[in-house]
Amino acid sequence: MTEPILRIRNLTKKYADKVIFQHIDLEVKSGDTIVIIGPSGTGKSTLLRCINLLTRPNEGQIFLNGEEITAKGINEDHVRQRIGMVFQNFLLFNHLTALENVKLGLTKVRHMKAEEAEVKAISHLKRVGLSEHMDKYPGQLSGGQQQRVGIARALAMDPEIMLFDEPTSALDPELIGEVLEVMRDLSKSGMTMVVVTHEMGFAREVADSIIFMERGSIVEEGSPEELFEHAHFPRTREFLGKISELYGKKEKKGE
Amino acid sequence: MSAWISLFQRYWPDFLKGAGITLELTFVGLLIGFVLGLLLALGKVYGSTWLRRLCTGYIEVFRGTPLLVQLFLIYYGLPSLGITLDQSTAAYAALGLNSAAYQAEYLRGAIVAIGESQMIAGRSIGMSRWQTIFQIILPQALRLALPAWSNEPISLLKTTGVVFLIAVQDLMAKGKRAAAASYNPIGAYLAVAVVYLGLVFLLTLVLKWAERRTKIPGFEMETKSS
């Protein structure tokens, strides 16, 4: 049994007295795509931010390829260089073109030569279908294009794992498809991904495993088939029913 | 009117020299004020509690007391502590220290407006806090601050006039001399006013140009909506 690429042990996050999530255990195998679903306010996004050390958990441990990244004295910047993150609101660097957005980390963090970084950045922008928009600023791009730049920016750093925090929630319905397509390709290419989303069609098709979270705990985990067809808990069935009705139809229409 | 023109004709080399000194004072004061103001702004936004208090204290004291008092304290007061500055140095110091307090507030406002999300974005690709501040936050904050900050060079240029009181030979000092020598205070000070107006006009053109040059397509829209 090989070491999972990401292992979370007994993770708890609280703000003052408010528990965001507690006693979370999770393992992600290399090349897998894990989709986390659940009602809003259940700590899904905070969990992703903990994995990326953008937020510090109160208790528990996180291991990345066997190394404990929650250990004291660890260099957070070095950890984040190994983890790609895609945000709900894209969070592109607004003063830089699409190309510069992708290039910056390569030159400033990876210390690549400018020409080398440019070649790499261009290839990643091509991969997400943006070769024609490389010189545009975020303000000149559609939401779907911005999010694809965000994905390219994270991918260019050659992360060991990619985290997606509701990557399509802020998008107009007709722009969701292009982003999901990029994510689908990425998953197929063997990238390890943890995705928080409400896109049930995507979860069903792409996920190796789906995790249903509610009120700060993992209620149920299983393959898409197990969860969609034979969920153990009534609460899981109820949530999936509601959300599939809401989002599933929209996605079908879009396709 | 003809008397006024002849006064101008007689004293214009003097006014020109004074205008040069005034511009120099403005430029040096602005530069000192910018560097110090940026440090104060960064300290106030990102510093520890005591550093934030220190920066706030500095800003309140230098905004809350007259520039002239600061100038006299530096020029006439410091020698009693064993620090003697010549007139120009004292003038540069007073203008710079004073302007820093104002510039700090313009810059702080813009840094805060850029917001924590750009910091998160920078950190997420593995940049350090300072890398993110210099690569991501400041390039945006400085652009955002520019229109409001443009008041400062203009205001400072006019404020430099007080330094004639420690006998720096700026435009105001030249005007005072011309007024005394020609027995025509109205003419002399009007002439000085016209030169100040011309300087401000030139400065405004430069600032407008800078604003256009640093514009990013879609950027204003973005910061307004988010």
What does the alpha-carbon distance between residue B27 and residue B18 come to, in Å, rounded to a whole number? 14
Whole-model pTM: value is 0.88
B132 in contact with A at a CB cutoff of 8 Å? no
Please name the residues in contact with A104: beta carbons below 8 A apart, sequence gap of 6 or more.
Answer: A93, A96, B125, B135
What is the least distance, in Å, from the CA of A145 to any CA of chain B?
A: 14
Q: Do A139 and B217 count as a contact with CB atoms less than 8 A apart?
A: yes
pLDDT tens per residue across span B97-134: 999 999 999 999 999 999 899 999 999 999 999 999 99
Q: Which of residues 90-119 of B touch A (CB under 8 A)?
A: 117-118
Q: Do B216 and A78 count as a contact with CB atoms less than 8 A apart?
A: no
Q: Do A95 and B216 count as a contact with CB atoms less than 8 A apart?
A: yes
- pLDDT for the residue numbered B143: 94
- Which CATH number fits the domain B2-214, given the four candidates 3.40.50.300, 3.30.70.20, 3.40.190.80, 1.10.3720.10? 1.10.3720.10
Which strands make up the sheet holding A193-196, listed edge to edge?
Answer: A83-86, A161-165, A193-196, A33-37, A209-214, A217-222
What is the least distance, in Å, from the CA of A163 to any CA of chain B?
A: 10
What is the least distance, in Å, from the CA of A253 to any CA of chain B?
A: 30
DSSP H stretches of helix in chain B = 2-46, 49-64, 67-72, 87-114, 116-124, 129-132, 138-149, 151-159, 171-182, 185-213, 219-225
Mutation target among B114, B117, B123, B124 for the A interface, most CBs of A within 10 A: B124
pLDDT tens per residue across span B85-101: 999 999 999 999 999 99
Any idea which residue has 């204290």 for tokens?
B57
Chain B CB contacts of A76 under 8 Å are: 123
How far apart are the two ends of chain A, measured CA to CA in Å?
39
pLDDT at position B68 over 80: yes
Using CA of residue B21, residue B25, residue B26, residue B31, what is the dihedral sign? positive
> Across the interface, which of A78, A94, A157 has its CB nearest the CB of B219?
A94
List of E strands, A38-160: 59-64, 67-68, 83-86
Average pLDDT, chain B: 93
B146 in contact with A at a CB cutoff of 8 Å? no
Tens of pLDDT, residue by residue, chain A (255 residues): 578 999 999 999 999 889 999 999 999 999 999 999 999 888 999 999 999 999 999 999 999 999 999 999 999 999 999 999 999 999 999 999 999 999 999 999 999 999 999 999 999 999 999 999 999 999 999 999 999 999 999 999 999 999 999 999 999 999 999 999 999 999 999 999 999 999 999 999 999 999 999 999 999 999 999 998 888 899 998 898 888 776 655 444 444
Chain B CA closest to residue A81: B126
What does the alpha-carbon distance between residue B180 and residue B41 come to, in Å, rounded to a whole number? 44
Q: Do B127 and A105 count as a contact with CB atoms less than 8 A apart?
A: yes
Under the phi-then-psi rule, with left for phi > 0, alpha for psi from -120 to 50, and beta for the rest, what region is B85? Answer: beta
- The pairing of strands A67-68 and A59-64 is antiparallel
- pLDDT for the residue numbered A244: 73
Interface pTM (ipTM) of the complex? 0.90
Establish how many alpha carbons lie within 13 A of residue A240's alpha carbon, considering only the half-sphere containing its beta carbon. 26
List of E strands, A111-244: 161-165, 193-196, 209-214, 217-222
Q: Which of residues 1-30 of B touch A (CB under 8 A)?
A: none
DSSP 8-state code for residue A213 = E
Chain B CB contacts of A97 under 8 Å are: none
Q: Taking Cα atoms as reference points, which of B74, B100, B107 lies closest to residue B89?
A: B74
The angle formed by the CA atoms of residues B20, B24 and B29, to the nearest 5 degrees, is 150
What is the least distance, in Å, from the CA of A83 to any CA of chain B?
A: 8
What does the alpha-carbon distance between residue B189 and residue B7 come to, in Å, rounded to a whole number? 11
Using CA of residue B32, residue B33, residue B38, residue B41, what is the dihedral sign? positive
